[in-house]
Amino acid sequence: MTSFLPDSIALSDSVPPPQSLAPKIRDHYNLLAPFYYLLWGEHVHHGYWENEADTAPPRIAQERILGELWRMAGCPSRVRLLDIGCGYAGPMLWLHRQTHVRRALGITISSVQQAVAQARIARAGLGQRARIVLADAQRPWPTDDGDSSLVWCFEMTEHLEDRAFWAQEAFRALEPGGTLCLAAWLAGERTDPASMQLRESVARDSVGYPFSTARQFEGWLQDAGFPREGMETRLITPHVVRTWEIAVEIGERAWIKRLRPYMGEDIEAYVRSFADLRDAFASGAMEYGLFVARKP
């Protein structure tokens, strides 16, 4: 296994998990869908910048991070794709441009995201080969055993309480020789009270469960059946932290400030979380990881 992890990494915070957040997560993405799209565009995830001198705009950086994970997986082509937490189908359409997707199934908990994503794949001419379904990834996934050659999970495990179940479902859905790709927000190795408080605040404001460490994810993948020698893990936190520096700047723009009193508590909490996310990733309280695992 190739790993870019520090020698010691903390266990995830011992914050008691809340009751199922699924209804709140669904409402969050349904209510905030227009704001997310306005803020981030088609890709609801981090960007990747090479270094501090890199001035790429967010959209380019967001597509770069997709490319980083795709290349880690060996640039798979002509895949049968299962995209869990597919958002507005941005990654699905990007993957299609790279790999000529043979068939794709996207899963989202948000009916608003489903409608937008389905319209986008239809406009892209993928209507006969791709579909978006409404489902909760914390329950058995609506796919047959071994039906996919690539399972793609981009920044969605933050909303899952049982991440061991997620790993088991990914293993089940993949054909022998298939590949799992994951991008995830992670708990960092710092265990001082300020870092733990930052993680707790970020999880709460982003409607997520307590964060897990990279080593915990590796353990769940192994327990699900993915062999250790077939895994690769990269921590790329310095390359993504600018996402939240940009978000903080956007949150301070006059039109956002004028709208915030009318946006509701969910959006207000989300905008407030930008500075916490910037500080958490910059300080090491949180990490950002890419994972690839292969089913034997």
142-201 per-position pLDDT tens digit: 999 999 999 999 999 999 999 999 999 999 999 999 999 999 999 999 999 999 999 999
The structural domains of the chain, with segments of one domain joined by +, span 2-6+21-237+279-294
H helix count then E strand count, the chain: 11, 8
* Terminal Cα distance for the chain, rounded: 14
pLDDT above 70 for 289 = yes
Q: What is the pLDDT of residues 246-286, one digit of tens each?
A: 999 988 887 777 877 776 777 778 788 999 999 999 999 99
Point out the least confidently predicted range of 7-11, 113-117, 140-144.
7-11
16 has pLDDT over 50: no
Q: What is the DSSP string of 240-252?
A: HTHHHHHHHHHHT
The pLDDT score that the predictor gives to residue 208 is 94
Alpha carbons 140 and 84: distance in angstroms, whole number? 12
pLDDT in tens, 91-112: 999 999 998 899 999 999 999 9
Q: What is the pLDDT of residue 54?
A: 96
φ, ψ for residue 148 (rounded to 5)? -125, 145
Mean pLDDT of the chain: 91
Architecture of domain 2-6+21-237+279-294: 3-Layer(aba) Sandwich (3.40)
Predicted confidence at residue 254, as pLDDT, reads 79
Bridge partners, residue 103, by sequence: 80
Q: What pLDDT score was predicted for residue 15?
A: 45
Q: What is the pTM of this model?
A: 0.91
Residue 20 has pLDDT above 70, yes or no: yes
| Mean of pLDDT values over 224-246 | 97
Distance CA 180, CA 226 (A): 9
Extended strands (E) in the chain: 2-3, 80-84, 103-108, 130-134, 148-154, 174-187, 232-235, 286-294
Q: Which SS3 state, helix, strand or coil, does residue 34 take?
A: helix
CB 65 within 8 A of CB 241: no
Cα–Cα distance, 61 to 273 (Å, whole number)? 21
Phi, psi at 51, each rounded to 5°: -165, -175
- Chain segment 45-59, per-residue pLDDT in tens: 999 999 999 999 999
The pLDDT-based confidence of 5 (bands split at 50, 70, 90) is very low
Tokens standing for 75? 């640039």
